Chain A
Amino acid sequence: MTFDWPTLLPLIFAGLMGLAILIYVVLDGFDLGIGILFNFADDAEKDTMIAAIGPFWDANETWLVLAVGLLLVAFPLAHGVILTALYLPTFLLLVGLILRGVAFDFRAKVPAGRKHRWNRIFFAGSLIASLAQGYMLGVYVLGLETGLAAMAFGALVALCLAASYAAMGAAWLIYKTEGALQKKAVRWLRSTLVLTVLGMAAISLATPFASTRIFDKWFVWPQMLYLSPLPILSALLFIWLWRQTFHLPKENDRHSIIPFLTLAAIFALGFAGLAWSFYPFVVPDQLTIWQAAAAPESLAIILVGTVFVLPIIIAYSFYSYRVFGGKAGDLTYD
């Protein structure tokens, strides 16, 4: 492999896209997750849950636009292949995102009697969007296969991703709320964690057996050794977090963000594993990142902008999270 720009640029953009997807999954994961947990909360708790994500969700969802945008602009061929293959799940994802996105605002602005309807739509939209993302991930992992087995696997991943988003949501609530809702969130975290573990284990086992190429990437010496920290660390973090759920919330609510960060770390580890499985393909077993990439001069001009702007975006995103730091509950329009 030579390290000239036409080789490096697609690699850099694959990395950027991966980063955008990971940030999206972690950030929108918690607000989609809160949407999934919405149905299990009472009316006052619902208001607090919305207040815990209200100032953030727009920006969180923008990471999806960036991820899809990078796929579109850096790997235009792959964008077409993947999205036409996943036409219907993509459609469901969009309908889900539309419904929950408007429900945020409508539930607060319609006459009081209709608020319940928009609460239900918020729950349904969040659930549909999460399931659709999981299904798309599952089918993508299997190389965009069609057929009953692929659909069943997609359905399994859909359930598990929805559960892990719910776990993220619960962990975020532990950070952003207090009192009875926080205790409830701890119980939510515990139950959804079980499903998350099952899901990640299922994907990790299914992927290598679905594709001999992926099997060969993992189960050869010495790669096995280098890769072993991924599953081992994930397992340790899971066990640690599981045990923590029996001791939460801590005295004076210390370190209440730790469960969320732990889950984010687990997501990152799982994501790294997936990325390793797919590399160098952007459409599994069909298109490599170099075959699908846009022209180097176009990638270069995007990269220039990205290098300048991305750090600024991250900086002001942090600032925005800091402005709305602390416990939620008094979100007002002034």
Chain B
Amino acid sequence: MDPLILSRIQFGANISFHILFPTITIALGWVLLFFKLRYNATGDTAWMRAYFTWVKVFALSFALGVVTGVTMSFQFGTNWPGYMETVGNIAGPLLAYEILTAFFLEAAFLGIMLFGFRRVPNRIHTLATVLVAGGTTVSAFWIIALNSWMQTPAGFEMRDGVAHAVDWWAIVFNPSMPYRLTHMLIASGLTVSFLIAGFSALRYLAGDRSDSMWKALRTGVFLAAVLIPVQIFVGDQHGLNTLEHQPAKVAAMEANWHTGSNIPLVLFAIPDEKAKENRFEITVPNGASLILTHSIDGVVPGLDQFEGNHPPVFPVFWGFRIMVGTGLLMLAVSWSAAYFLRRRRSLPKPLALLMVPMALSGWVATLAGWYTTEIGRQPWLVSGILKTADAVGPVAGSHVALTLAVYLILYAALLVTYLGVLVHLALKAAKDGDTSPLPGVLNAPLSQPAAGE
């Protein structure tokens, strides 16, 4: 097979697997800080129990994020040497600042956050939690700045085919960056809130009615219920920004083949790239014009404007629909759960059963969203500057295929183990309930199995 498509699949597989874990750690750090601050304020040990349960998930997710992140730092060179040769002057400093200002901060204080509760004063432990949470967010800031710059480059000039920085402010805060960053940070918040809600729902179903379970459950459900409408608004703004700067992507997202006014919103279709039309289309009249221009006879760009230079339509169209569909499901589930928790102070069993698989809904929506925006940038690696095909390395297709196969097997095994450990931790927490050892009394070495049974 062609090394280009294999390299793309490999990079896609690596970065997809990687993004799962930062998506959790970015927001989970702040949720842990919330638990810690509640404990500091109330002295209620249930908050600290919630902290200890979730700090384990944090540690696990962080470890997976680190090791897959190390892979990413090598893959730029192994698979896409043309990328750094062309835009290294821009990408380099952004990545360097990510490592310098975020990675070390997270890694150094993670040790204190995980194992330092009895070794340092409580204030330092809280500070370590702040620094780790801040580190994950700063890391997101830099990498989103770089990704957004690849989508909507600004603040540079080309000299002899190499990008040179002219205005760093314009590079970092390029046109799509504030939208993408906000959208991603809230996505992380939603992923974590549904993870916590689903994990706690599993404890609830296992008969756990402990204080720490209720506290985590409420935190997850209410956070999700608050964030999801905000996310829908931010997502809409992000879409309008994309329409302005990357119209070809929007045309592919809407599977709109012809520029025009009164464009319908396509709810379902099988886009056919050869015939340049949609099969089995179900549409809402004037819908796309209304959403994208906020007027029913607004003009929406079609793929015919970007002949031969637009992204593949099928994955972008469906990626977008999966993301939006998951988002609407999240809205329904989180609002009904919030209703029952506030008004009835209980959780109906069918809803709890639905919340358990919804624990992973954030992952689905995040991945679908990233596929939409990244595939939507094709055929460009850096919009208007570098085509993906021109950045691929000289490595033989067979090598890429072999390593890809091993990565896929490895990632599948790790994902199964990770989810297995989460379920195991939830059931164990459900069994222990509020009888788990109190903070500061526990003396079981980390290296002991978490469960002796």
Contacts and interface: CB of A to CB of B under 8 A. Distances in A.
A62 B115 contact: no
Interface in A44-72: 46-48, 50-51, 54-56, 58-59, 61-62, 64-66, 68-72
Contacts of A109: 56, 60, 421, 424-425, 449-450
Contacts of B105: 313, 316
B262 interface: no
B276 interface: no
A30 B365 CA distance: 40
Interface stretch (B27-35, B230-238, B377-385, B440-448): B440-448
B202 to A, nearest CB: 16
Nearest to B14: A94
A118 to B, nearest CB: 9
A106 interface: yes
A46 B68 CA distance: 25
Contact of A97 (B55, B67, B447, B448): B67
B231 to A, nearest CB: 30
Contacts of B66: 58, 61-62, 101
A62 B99 contact: yes
B435 interface: no
B394 to A, nearest CB: 6
A interface majority secondary structure: helix
A87 interface: yes
Interface string B411-453: 0001001001100110000000000000110111111111111
Interface stretch (A202-210, A244-252, A261-269, A326-334): A326-334
Contact of B100 (A56, A68, A99, A313): A313
Given A62-B104, A94-B71, A334-B442, A115 B92 contact: no
B120 A323 contact: yes
Nearest to B448: A47
Interface string B160-194: 00101100100000000000000000000000000
B78 A111 contact: no
Given A84-B395, A88-B399, 14 more contacts: A51-B445, A58-B111, A69-B99, A73-B93, A94-B70, A98-B410, A109-B424, A295-B165, A298-B90, A298-B93, A320-B109, A324-B115, A331-B115, A332-B442
B111 A54 contact: yes
B95 A82 contact: no
A90 interface: yes
B451 A294 contact: no
B243 interface: no
B428 to A, nearest CB: 9
Contacts of A50: 446-447
Interface stretch (B81-89, B267-275, B355-363): B81-89
B228 to A, nearest CB: 30
User: Could you say which interface size class chain A belongs to?
Assistant: 35 or more
Contacts of B417: 102, 106, 110
B63 interface: yes
| Closest 9 pairs between A and B when the two form their complex, measured CB to CB | A80-B81, A73-B92, A55-B111, A83-B77, A47-B447, A76-B88, A101-B67, A76-B84, A59-B107
Contacts of A68: 70, 73-74, 77
A301 B91 CA distance: 12
Interface string B373-413: 00000000000000000000111000100010010001000
A317 interface: yes
Interface of A: 46-48, 50-51, 54-56, 58-59, 61-62, 64-66, 68-74, 76-77, 79-84, 87-88, 90-91, 93-95, 97-99, 101-102, 104-112, 115, 294-295, 297-298, 301-302, 305-306, 309-310, 313, 316-317, 319-320, 323-324, 329-334
A329 B447 CA distance: 9
A263 B23 CA distance: 40
Contact of B394 (A46, A61, A84, A323): A84
Contacts of A80: 77, 81-82, 84-85, 393
Contacts of B106: 58
A61 B70 contact: yes
Contacts of B110: 58-59
Contacts of A70: 96
Given A97-B67, A105-B63, A112-B451, A305 B111 contact: no
A57 to B, nearest CB: 9
Contact of A84 (B103, B107, B109, B393): B393
Contact of A108 (B64, B67, B111, B448): B448
Given A111-B453, A295-B164, A46 B92 contact: no
Nearest to A66: B99
Contact of B410 (A58, A59, A93, A95): A95
Contact of A309 (B60, B101, B420, B425): B101
Nearest to B69: A65
B342 interface: no
B74 A90 contact: yes
Interface in B100-127: 100-101, 103-112, 114-120
A51 B444 CA distance: 12
Contacts of A93: 74
B335 interface: no
Contact of B447 (A71, A310, A331): A331
B60 A317 contact: no
B446 A65 contact: no
B76 interface: yes
A333 B443 CA distance: 9
A317 B115 contact: no
Given A297-B164, A333-B55, A79 B84 contact: yes
B164 A110 contact: no
Contact of A110 (B70, B76, B420): B420
Contacts of B108: 59, 313, 316-317, 319-320
Interface in B314-366: none
A182 B446 CA distance: 20
B446 A69 contact: no
B223 to A, nearest CB: 24
B442 A102 contact: no
Contacts of B421: 106, 109-110
Contact of B62 (A54, A58, A79, A83): A58
Nearest to A93: B74
Given A58-B66, A84-B393, A324 B118 contact: no
Given A84-B77, A98-B68, A55 B114 contact: yes
19 contacts: A55-B111, A65-B99, A68-B73, A73-B91, A79-B81, A84-B77, A88-B403, A95-B410, A98-B67, A108-B450, A109-B56, A305-B93, A305-B96, A316-B105, A317-B108, A332-B446, A333-B117, A334-B52, A334-B442
A330 B443 contact: yes
A95 B408 CA distance: 11
A177 to B, nearest CB: 13
A152 B278 CA distance: 58
A58 B164 CA distance: 34
A48 B71 CA distance: 29
